[in-house]
Structure 1
Amino acid sequence: MGSFDLPHTSSFKGGSETFLRNVFENILQTYLRKNPTAKTIWELVQSVDNEKICYDHFVFQTLKVNGYGIDSLSSFFMDYGYKVGGKLDFPKKNVRVLWLSPPVIYVPNEGHGLGNEPLPRLVIAELLVDELSRESQEIIQKYLKPEGSKQAVLSSTLGSLIWEKPTSSDFKQLAKESEFAAWVLIHGYTMNHLAFSVHQLKHRFSDINCIKKDLEEKEFELNSDGGILKVSEDGLLLQVSTISETLAVEFSDGVTETIPASYIEFTQRLVLPEFKDLHYDQIKEYHRRDGFDFDNAKNILEGARFNSNV
């Protein structure tokens, strides 16, 4: 990613937009390197769309203990102009979610990669560790040392754990109570999944129904919880996602297990009713449905890992 000059004022509070985009690019490349199926789909989208890819959101999972929760990631991005967009709570899963809207930036008519297109929303989930059993809390506390949370963003870009790799027995025991906790313990702050912004894609991938058909024809395994095409209550937010691929991982005790990794999603935001008469060329991002839907998010979260062996 090359540097570039911004011809218009942005809402960045500090630092360089180029630096932030490079952070995202490294997070993206780490995610693609660790998830072969996601990379295959990403390359398919890129080949169809002439390298112009826009992202709706990036998703991260964290553990709320010793400062390792949402704040360990959100504080960095909010320094660069991200703002709180909304919250979702999943009490049955002991999970809380915060999503951040990107800063306002100048966006030219054409953009490629993560070079100058709109920045993605960020979705950061945290597991309320205090709500888990004492045994699970002790496993997590054994690995997450105080002060390590300060390196959360660096961990995301490098794809490296801040803590020591867990044993297979600790991972399995934790997974019995919370797959979320076990996933974070072995994958750390690697991006959990990304979502393409469908309405900003071109050709056949500019419609989510065409994407669904295309992925099914190519025999990618799709998340069917709540239906393969997940539709928000207001009908304006449409989402399709794969299930997590599984990868062989060697734990610190030398045991190799096949465990869930990450998945990939497509999100289409329809134009709000009050702007339905606008000409297509006049429609901006703020004319479309923003935010997220509880049921859609719940089904994506719960259906992504049904093929787990743990």
Structure 2
Amino acid sequence: MTLETLLDKMWVDYCKLNPAAKQIHDMFVAEGETVLNDHIALRTFNHPRLGIESLAKQLKKFGYEQKGEPYIFTEKKLFARHYEHPDEKMPKIFISELELEKVSPFIRETLTKLADSIPQSVIDSEDFSMCGRPWDMSYALYSELAKESEYASWVAAYGFRPNHFTVNINNLKKFQDINHLNDFLQSKGIVLNKSGGLVKGTPADYLEQSSTMASEIPVKFTDGTHNLPGCYYEFAKRYKMDNGKFYQGFVAKSADKIFESTNKQK
């Protein structure tokens, strides 16, 4: 499998969990834009078999390298890193993990049991980063996990796959201003994440971000099918640093709010 094949498969899978993404992508194309993907995000938890490295090892085979400092999300009990490819046209990969030592015994034991149930052959496969949910899951158990950690319940329900793709605003022509882009999306009826404001970050952070709220899709559980928030679409504008190069990292305080794009809308 080539990297391009993997990314294409990820996009197809992602659009099934977020039909609005294809709609938004096509809206930009209809406006004469070429949509470039800034980054893809993956979620996991730091079980010895399933931590960040278990997802990153496949990407490293395609040339991805770990960059920058780790990102810490104290309140959500998350740790993250990002990876870049030598070919700048390839999207960055942002991988986060739930810190099991910081959650309740219930979540720790539940996720450990799920992790232990996965065949090693699945973890070692080329497309593990988009294999989906490799375990049985009941809606009752999902609901219990969600009471403490939305992140834990999302991974339990959906498994391993892109949680979001990201439009590179810098590559757009008509929508270079993130506020103008947000206005355009809202005029089309797209619901955006308002947590911390529509725009997360500032030019002083070298990164501005906004995102849609994940729309609900039907998910099959062992005890029935239920509608849950799936994936969301993000939009990122990067600014040049003092050295004249565009900032390629992420801003933890902004990402903290972006995570909430998969929260259930009230």
Match of 1:298 among 246, 250, 256: 256
1:233·1:293 contact (CA, 8 Å) conserved in 2? Answer: no
Deviations 1:260-292, CA, capped at 9 Å, x for gaps: 1110011011223453xxxxxxxxxxx212211
Letter in 2 for 1:78: K
Match of 1:262 among 231, 234, 241: 231
- Alpha-carbon distance, 1:259 to partner: 1.2
2:219·2:225 contact (CA, 8 Å) conserved in 1? Answer: yes
* Identity rate, percent: 27
Aligned to 2:12: 29
- Alpha-carbon distance, 1:198 to partner: 0.9
2:55·2:128 contact (CA, 8 Å) conserved in 1? Answer: no
Of structures 1 and 2, the larger Rg is shown by 1
2:150·2:263 contact (CA, 8 Å) conserved in 1? Answer: no
- Alpha-carbon distance, 1:85 to partner: 1.3
Alignment of 1:40-119 (within 5 A): 40-49=23-32, 52-86=34-68, 87-104=70-87, 118-119=89-90
Q: In the aligned structure 2, how far is the partner of 1:155 from the partner of 1:82?
A: 16
- Alpha-carbon distance, 1:308 to partner: 4.4
Letter in 1 for 2:171: Q
Evaluate the alpha carbon distance shift between residue 148 and residue 162 of structure 1 in structure 2; reply closer, same or farther with a 3 A threshold. Answer: farther
Letter in 1 for 2:232: Y
Deviations 1:163-211, CA, capped at 9 Å, x for gaps: 22x0111101111111111101111112100111111123x13332221
Letter in 1 for 2:17: K
1:242·1:265 contact (CA, 8 Å) conserved in 2? Answer: yes
Evaluate the alpha carbon distance shift between residue 78 and residue 264 of structure 1 in structure 2; reply closer, same or farther with a 3 A threshold. Answer: same
Deviations 1:141-179, CA, capped at 9 Å, x for gaps: 33222526624652444x532222x01111011111111
- 5+ long unaligned stretches in structure 1: 1-17, 106-117, 276-286
1:148·1:162 contact (CA, 8 Å) conserved in 2? Answer: no
Matched, 1:154 2:127: yes
RMSD of Structure 2 on Structure 1 (CA): 2.1
- Alpha-carbon distance, 1:62 to partner: 0.6
TM-score for the superposition, normalised by structure 2:
0.90
Match of 1:177 among 134, 145, 148: 148
Q: Give SS of 2:190's match.
A: coil
Aligned length: 263
Q: Give SS of 1:223's match.
A: coil
Alignment of 1:212-223 (within 5 A): 212-223=182-193
Q: In the aligned structure 2, how far is the partner of 1:191 from the partner of 1:89?
A: 20
Q: In the aligned structure 2, how far is the partner of 1:236 from the partner of 1:104?
A: 21
- Alpha-carbon distance, 1:100 to partner: 0.6
Q: In the aligned structure 1, how far is the partner of 2:229 from the partner of 2:111?
A: 19
Q: In the aligned structure 1, how far is the partner of 2:251 from the partner of 2:18?
A: 26
- 5+ long unaligned stretches in structure 2: none
Q: In the aligned structure 1, how far is the partner of 2:221 from the partner of 2:45?
A: 20
Evaluate the alpha carbon distance shift between residue 152 and residue 246 of structure 1 in structure 2; reply closer, same or farther with a 3 A threshold. Answer: farther
2:203·2:239 contact (CA, 8 Å) conserved in 1? Answer: no
